[in-house]
Amino acid sequence: MQVILAQPRGFCAGVTRAIAIVERALAVHGAPIYVRHEIVHNKTVVAELQRRGAIFIEKIEDVPDGATLIFSAHGIPRGEEAKARSRDLTIYDATCPLVKKVHREVVRMHQAGKSILMIGHIGHPEVEGTMGQIDGGIQVVQNVQDVHDLPDRPGEDCAYVSQTTVSVDDAIDVIAALREKFPGILEPKKSDVCYATQSRQDAVKTLAKAVDLILVIGSVTSSNTNRLREVSERQGVHAKLIDSAQNIDPAWFEGIEAVGITAGASAPETLVTGVVQYLKDHFDVESVRELGQKEERVAFPMPKGLWDSDLETA
């Protein structure tokens, strides 16, 4: 059996920054640290941070006065942020800067008098956080049929944004439908789909040409991880979404000569290493190699209060 690893895979810059914010806050302020929603959608990451003293909550009211609070990478509705900042809390915002970009677009479009359509998944925390940047005037469209079902309106009166972790191919189709239905619709200056989402989906398309089965490492709650599984299936290669090597069923590999492995943007590389070791322990693995482009060199800065100098004095 050959094992081929997609490149790039795993952590993106936004996830790396968000996890580092929690780790540094624990180092500077000590446990417990409160985090609104899971910092990223990965069970392994969340469990490790819980072990070190992070407490994940959904309601700001659950954070005691005087505590340290972190907003997750997915972003937070404006009203919830205002509620938190009105209290005696030390707050760090781990919202991905690329999600923040979409927030600014929504506010700008709203101020221009546009009704806004958001391409994304209803109920996802990033979508809820983005919609919560304004008081109404925004509607989610999940697919082309949703666009067809929209009432007609002058195109110049509406605009659209996208969730950063949607399927690149799906977004292209939905955008085309929006342009056809609403000529003149206001568009973002630059695509909202994040660089890591696109590069990892492109890597899976390349990987699918070389393997018989793809293992997608990540949690079922992770949007970008689910999209990787869908991309593989659309390329005609069956994919299995797993949290770790513990979820592997040996029966999957009957008749399989080449296995591909990728990981969602919130899955640590240790999980990839664990899956590779499982395959080596249970099957005759002839080779392990990477396929694709080198990892992106993107990094986002830490917020004030969690710089290297703050760690030195903690």
Task: Check if 126 is active-site.
Answer: yes
Encoded tokens for 180: 């056809």
CB within 8 A of 35, min separation 6: which ones?
22, 49, 54, 55, 56, 57, 69, 70, 72
* Cβ contact 23:45 at 8 Å: no
How far is Cα 156 from Cα 134, in angstroms, rounded to an integer? 20
- Which of 126, 230, 233, 290 is catalytic? The answer is 126
* Cβ contact 119:174 at 8 Å: yes
Kind of pairing between the strands at 54-57 and 33-36: parallel
Catalytic residues: 126
